[in-house]
Amino acid sequence: MQTRRRLFFLALLLSLSLSGWAATGFRAAVVKVDITPEGHQMLLGYGARKSTGVNDRIYHRIVVLDDGKTQFVLVSSDICVMSPAEYDRVAARLKKQLGIDPVNFWWNLTHTHSAPELGPPGLPALFMANRYEHQFDSDYAEVTEKKLLDGIAEARKKLVPARLGVGWGLSQANINRRAKDIDGKAYLGMDPDGAVDRRIGVLRLDREDGSPIALIANYAIHGTVLSGENLQISGDAPGVVADYVEQKLGAPMLFINGAAGNIAPIYSGYPNPKAGRMNQFRVLLGDKILAANKSISATTNDIRLKTASLLIETPRKPNLGWIDELRDYTRTTKAGVNMVKLPVRFLQINDDIAIWSAPLELFCEVSNEIRDQSPYPYTFYFGYGNGWLGYLLTEEEIKHGGYEVTVSPFTPEAAKNLTHAVTNQLQGKK
């Protein structure tokens, strides 16, 4: 009788395990999906122009993390910027089809300036209307969205027991791009003495046998090695670096841009990859990411994921209009002040990793200060997340003017408002 009971109990456990009901522990998966268009496309980043060919292919790279309670989706796409409304549409479809709550779905863009437009322009049409006199390609948008949704569904099916490691690296592949003349005015150029963030944040996902599933590399750099003269579709430096690391690692790498609002690649604004020495970024940044990966000496499968969201309201520039499709991202107070509603996302991994993300082209001084005040030893800012609501500069940099000020909806107090709110969230303050 006891033998029969034991056999029954073992069979029941096996059945529950196979059905997915039993606890699974930490699991992860990655999927890489080609989103290079078949035909010519209007490119985003610089003036309106149409592609004539492909220099290197562009991708969605999708990671799914699952700790048994929370399932988190991180996407890195070789796209310049997109409207938050585009993210909202895809997030709504994802929730309907797969039941994934938007707070657990982060869609970050590498910010290459040589990729096709994706969906309607959003806020850029407010600042640069002449760039968007044409209609966006709805067919390309639908194909790219479907590939993303299908890729996430595929990754969920491929989840395997996993381990996670974290580390820091350093690369001098970037430079402050806010050059200032004797009159104090800022111009797009190079400022070797300006604020910069050269840290590389690295997260590695391994299988239980130690083989790599994926690498996530976080670094601040504009995707502007190639200038507006270039008409070839390209992932720019982030794409070249990701491809190089993948060849060396034998697994996909998600390039997640950081606070690159005032940070350029050290070679920037060239008409073609050869002139811009784009392949040199394999050494300048790719090898530094590989070195940071090697420095990760410990991984763990004891992982707890915790997500959160925060809506920060900060005043909008006086007399600045708005885009109707983004009406959910603004409101007017009883006193008649127009506000920008800025959504910020948070991911905490165990007690030592905190990641925050916002739909911003953020100046690095802000993320640097938040990182310095964070109680987490590994604090990363994932930029260009879930849309684009313009540049957010520090109060000091706004005084110097320049291009970034003209494409920002924010007042000088925005940086302090953001820093205060995010720091309080990370420090557990109300």
Q: pLDDT tens-digit profile of 372-404?
A: 999 999 999 999 999 999 999 999 999 999 999
Phi, psi of 414 (to 5 degrees): -60, -40
CA 170/CA 163 separation, integer angstroms = 24
Strand locations in 115-159 (E): 115-116
Alpha-carbon distance of 138 to 116, in angstroms, equals 12
- Output the pLDDT for position 16: 40
The pLDDT of residue 12 is above 70: no
- As a whole number, mean pLDDT of residues 173-198 equals 97
Identify the weakest region by mean pLDDT among 23-27, 139-143, 369-373: 23-27
Q: What are the residue boundaries of the structural domains of the chain, listed by start?
A: 305-426
Share of the chain above pLDDT 70, in %: 94
pLDDT at 345: 98
Give the model's pLDDT for residue 390: 97
317, 410 contact by CB (below 8 A): yes
Stronger pLDDT, 2 or 131, i.e. the higher one = 131
> At 125, is the pLDDT very low, low, confident or very high (cuts 50, 70, 90)?
very high
Contact of 418 with 314, CB cutoff 8 Å: yes
Contacts of 147 (CB under 8 A, 6+ apart): 33, 34, 35, 60
pLDDT tens sequence across 211-259: 999 999 999 999 999 999 999 999 999 999 999 999 999 999 999 999 9
pTM over 0.85: yes
Residues 61-95 have pLDDT tens digits of 999 999 999 999 999 999 999 999 999 999 999 99
At residue 7, the pLDDT reads 45
Which residue in 124, 129, 48 sits closest to 388, CA to CA?
124
The answer to whether residue 3 scores a pLDDT higher than 80 is: no
| Helix segments in 22-111, DSSP class H | 84-98
**In the predicted model, is pLDDT for residue 22 greater than 70?**
no
Helix 84-98, helix 138-157: angle, nearest 10:
40
| Residue whose C-alpha is closest to residue 177's, from 193, 189, 160, 165 | 189
**Residue 171 clears pLDDT 50, i.e. is over it:** yes
What is the distance, to the nearest Å, from the Cα of residue 233 to the centroid of all Cα atoms in its chain?
20
Closest CA to 70 of 108, 29, 101: 101
Report the amino acid identity of residue 123. Answer: L
pLDDT at 105 over 60: yes
DSSP string, 320-382: ----GGGGGGEEE-TTS-EEEEEEEEEEEETTTEEEEE-SSEE-HHHHHHHHHH-SSSEEEEE
Q: What angle do CA 77, 343, 74 make, to 5 degrees?
A: 30
pLDDT digits (tens, 9 = 90+) for 248-295: 999 999 999 999 999 999 999 999 999 999 999 999 999 999 999 999
Region 47-57: mean pLDDT is: 96
400 appears as a binding residue in the annotation: no
The pLDDT value recorded for residue 24 is 62
State how far the alpha carbon of 416 is from the alpha carbons of 253, 328, 393, 408, in Å: 33, 23, 10, 15
Tokens at residue 155, please? 């990754």
Check whether 113 is labelled as a binding-site residue.
no
17 band by pLDDT with thresholds 50, 70 and 90 = very low
Q: Is pLDDT of 430 > 50?
A: yes
- DSSP annotation string for 83-101: -HHHHHHHHHHHHHHH---
pLDDT at 429: 80
**How far, in whole angstroms, is CA 157 from its chain's centroid?**
23
